[in-house]
Each structure stands twice: as structure tokens, then as C-alpha cells.
A = this chain, B = another copy of it.
């Protein structure tokens, strides 16, 4: 497992190194988890950004981000689970702040124009970013409960997202 619960010995074994080696590179387990969190976030950001249709209209551009986000989670359930656990782990606050800064900077560049032009409801970028995450969470939770139908819930999530961020 990639989560907090994994012991350092387990992590070391999975990584194919000795237990002590971990502490050559990370001063503590929390530092290791911080780095893991940052890596996961970077991995996700790269995925979202790749092939971003800069020239499309705002709805299509957001739909692109949404679809990529759903795909990434569908393909990397264990990474998502790890992120979910790390997100509520208090001892890596600094890493979370940095990760959010980076995510926001990324998205900021993509939508600055839209916010100014009124194509999106006025709102903080961080709020918008979290909204996407939260809705994606829901999509997968609902899917897990029903035992399938990801497409259906993905569409539902998109509608909620677009309704929430677009102007009336």
C-alpha cells in the first residue's frame, strides 16, 4: 500500500532498498510522506495539463480537465487512495500548501482570462480546484457503491461542476 498506514519497513521492501536507506534520503517518515504527496500531485498535474486545448472555449477546456481527472483516478486507484489519506494527515501541512500553490498557479494560467471576461463565475482559483477534486471524489464513491456505471456518474459530476462554476 502507498498510504500512511504502510510501515517504513514495508515501504523500503516495496522500493527494493534497505530500511535504513530510506533515512539517508528522508530525515523522517513525515518528510517521506510529504515528498510522496508532492510527487503524486505533480503526476496528476502533468496528466491534466497534457493536451490541454488552449484554444477551445471555456466549457470544452474545463471538460478536458474533468475527463482527464476522472481517467487518472480510474487508472490509478492506489495513487488516489494514497492522496486521500495524505490529505487528512496533519503532519505534512507544508507540503500540502506547496502542492496547492503549484496546482493553483497551473490552473490560474489556464483560466485567468475566463474569470476576467465573465465566462466563469467570479471565485478563487483554489475554490474551483477543490470543487473539481471534491466532485471527482463523489463520482468514484457513488460508482463504488453502485458497483459500476462510472460513465453515468462522470456525466452527472460534470453537470454539477459546470453548473457550479459557470455564470447563471
Q: Determine if A17 is an interface residue (Cβ-Cβ < 8 Å).
A: no
- A135 with B131, Cβ < 8 A, contacts A88-B85, A121-B163, A168-B163 known: yes
Interface string of A118-129 (1 = CB under 8 A from B): 000101101100
Q: How many residues of A contact B (CB 8 A)?
A: 29
**B-contacting residues of A (Cβ < 8 Å)?**
5, 84-85, 88, 90, 121, 123-124, 126-127, 130-131, 134-135, 137-138, 141-142, 145, 153, 156, 159-161, 163-166, 168
Chain multiplicity (copies): 4
In whole angstroms, how far apart are the Cα atoms of A131 and B157 in the complex? Answer: 10
For A130, list chain B residues within 8 Å (CB): 137-138, 141
